[in-house]
């Protein structure tokens, strides 16, 4: 029997026959005709579909009732609901995973806190559909910014704290400070430039700029000597050079001035003599008093330091004069002399700087003194020269000091 005949005989079965055979175990299957091959590919083998289930008693299947609104509500009530917050969280997480790659995982490892995330692309989450699409920007809208809390400048930054710990809490550095070994302290700081940077940036609170025992001490009209009657020790005369007033210098400064004089002579610049070196607190009382009597207070303050405010009292300052054929000139003869010109170019190589340069009166409070040299050591003098500084106040990041407080 072919497929058409089988289909015809099945259709002619009446309802009573179906009812009589409803509970029989043998059910005839219906073959589906073979699909002939076409250009898209080979044909499929016969597929057999199982017959519908047997009819219940009475011969009729129950007709499904239409789904009413009540049924729909009841069906949805049985399903677990996902809250809006959860949907937003899931959608946002999806956006982060797609937009930021591993950013979502990285954020998940952080402790619970409020984290502001900047997406790495212009993808945004569609909350209602949990989709991700390109951000649509309205060119007519003004950009918005999120206000941030003002930074408290009084709180040290992370870098400042590290620098302070790295310098002031380093055994080698603090040991050198305690022992008064300035050269070792500078080496422990990484060099003169690093030392200066730390001090100027306020990252080395353990370095006292007003301690007269250190070569970096700053003495000006706002930084007095402490104690006011300080006297350096040991002191000595520079070797091999003339001292016109018989005064000496602190030992390290005296040796450095001897080296400077020898180098100037070797270079053909001529001989240099020490006109005035160390002055005690008592001596400065007389010197300043003389100037005040001649010039008045304002005039005296421009050319002479008040007692307790003089660099000469540290033993690190030297007033020099040029000498020729055994005869020495005055302080006013230094500028423009071969010795004076050589000092401007080369003094730093021996640890000296010209302390009161022309054009810096607004910072130092003194008129130019090309004869007044100040010893700060070779390391710091090199950094001073290389950095193009012209005053110690600028070098250490201090404010200008043109006037006394009173």
Residue 288 corresponds to which tokens in the numbers above? Answer: 């300043």
CA-nearest of 256, 232, 276 to 352 is 256
In this structure, the number of other CB atoms found within 10 A of the CB of residue 124 comes to 17
The pLDDT tens digits of the residues spanning 331-348 come to 999 999 999 999 999 999
Q: With 90 as the cut, is the pLDDT of residue 183 above it?
A: yes
Which residue do the tokens 């076409």 mark? 38
Give the model's pLDDT for residue 3: 45
**For 174-187, what is the mean pLDDT?**
96
On whether the 235-395 domain is CATH 3.30.1380.10, my answer is yes
- Mean pLDDT for the chain? 76
Give the model's pLDDT for residue 212: 97
The pLDDT tens digits of the residues spanning 245-292 come to 999 999 999 999 999 999 999 999 999 999 999 999 999 999 999 999
Question: Please, which pLDDT band fits residue 10 given cuts at 50, 70 and 90?
Answer: very low
The number of angstroms, rounded, from the C-alpha of 29 to the middle of its chain's C-alpha atoms is: 83
Give the model's pLDDT for residue 22: 45
Cβ neighbours of residue 400 closer than 8 Å, sequence gap 6 or more: 362, 363, 393
CA-nearest of 133, 199, 128, 132 to 160 is 199
Element housing 371 (H / E): strand 369-375
The pLDDT tens digits of the residues spanning 365-404 come to 999 999 999 999 999 999 999 999 999 999 999 999 999 9
**For 147-176, what is the mean pLDDT?**
62
What is d(CA 398, CA 393) in angstroms, rounded to the nearest whole number?
5
Cβ neighbours of residue 83 closer than 8 Å, sequence gap 6 or more: none
Helix (H, G, I), strand (E, B) or coil at 102: coil
* CB hemisphere CA count around 16 (13 angstroms): 0
Query: Which of 52-56, 157-161, 171-175, 312-316 is the least confident region?
Result: 157-161
Give the model's pLDDT for residue 334: 98
Give the model's pLDDT for residue 392: 98
How big, in percent rounded to 5, are the helix, strand and coil portions of the chain?
40, 10, 50
| Predicted TM-score of the model (pTM) | 0.62
**For 3-13, what is the mean pLDDT?**
43
Question: Please, which pLDDT band fits residue 326 given cuts at 50, 70 and 90?
Answer: confident
Give the model's pLDDT for residue 166: 74
Give the model's pLDDT for residue 215: 98
Question: Please, which pLDDT band fits residue 53 given cuts at 50, 70 and 90?
Answer: low
The pLDDT tens digits of the residues spanning 62-111 come to 544 444 444 444 444 444 444 444 444 444 444 444 444 444 343 444 44
What is d(CA 131, CA 285) in angstroms, rounded to the nearest whole number?
86
What is d(CA 85, CA 405) in angstroms, rounded to the nearest whole number?
65
CA-nearest of 308, 323, 221 to 275 is 323
| Per-domain boundaries in the chain | 3-49, 84-110+125-130, 160-200, 235-395
The pLDDT tens digits of the residues spanning 200-250 come to 999 999 999 999 999 999 999 999 999 999 999 999 999 999 999 999 999
What percent of the chain shows pLDDT beyond 70?
Answer: 59
Per the CB < 8 A criterion, the answer to whether 272 and 261 are in contact is yes
């Amino acid at each position: 029997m072919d497929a058409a005949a089988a289909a015809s005989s099945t259709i002619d079965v009446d309802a009573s026959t179906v009812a009589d055979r409803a509970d029989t175990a043998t059910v005839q299957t219906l073959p589906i005709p073979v699909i002939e091959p076409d250009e898209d590919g080979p044909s499929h083998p016969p597929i057999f579909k199982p017959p519908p289930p047997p009819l219940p008693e009475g011969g009729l299947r129950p007709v499904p009732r239409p789904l009413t609104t009540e049924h729909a509500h009841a069906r949805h009530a049985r399903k677990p609901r996902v809250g809006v917050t959860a949907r937003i969280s899931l959608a946002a997480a999806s956006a982060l995973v797609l937009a930021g790659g591993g950013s979502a995982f990285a954020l998940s490892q952080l402790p619970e806190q409020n984290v502001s995330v900047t997406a790495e692309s212009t993808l945004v989450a569609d909350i209602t559909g949990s989709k991700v699409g390109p951000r649509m920007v309205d060119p007519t809208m003004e950009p918005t910014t999120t206000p941030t809390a003002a930074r408290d400048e009084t709180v040290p930054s992370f870098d400042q704290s590290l620098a302070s710990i790295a310098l002031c809490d380093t055994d080698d550095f603090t040991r050198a400070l305690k022992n008064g070994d300035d050269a070792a302290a500078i080496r422990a700081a990484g060099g003169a430039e690093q030392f200066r940077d730390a001090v100027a940036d306020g990252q080395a609170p353990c370095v006292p700029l007003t301690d007269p025992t250190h070569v970096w001490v700053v003495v000006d009209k706002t930084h007095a000597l402490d104690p006011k009657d300080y006297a350096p020790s040991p002191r000595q005369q520079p070797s091999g050079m003339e001292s016109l007033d018989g005064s000496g210098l602190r030992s390290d400064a005296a040796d450095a001035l001897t080296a400077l004089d020898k180098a100037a002579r070797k270079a053909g610049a001529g001989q240099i003599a020490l006109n005035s070196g160390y002055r005690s607190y008592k001596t400065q009382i007389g010197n300043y008093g003389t100037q005040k009597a001649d010039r008045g207070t304002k005039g005296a303050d421009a050319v002479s330091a008040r007692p307790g405010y003089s660099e000469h009292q540290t033993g690190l300052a030297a007033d020099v004069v040029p000498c020729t054929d055994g005869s020495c000139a005055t302080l006013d003869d230094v500028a423009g002399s071969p010795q004076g010109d050589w000092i401007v170019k080369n003094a730093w190589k021996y640890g000296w700087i010209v302390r009161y340069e022309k054009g810096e009166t607004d910072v130092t409070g003194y008129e130019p003194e090309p004869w007044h040299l100040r010893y700060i050591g070779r390391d710091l003098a090199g950094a001073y020269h290389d950095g193009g500084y012209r005053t110690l106040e600028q070098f250490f990041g201090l404010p200008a000091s043109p006037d006394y407080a009173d």
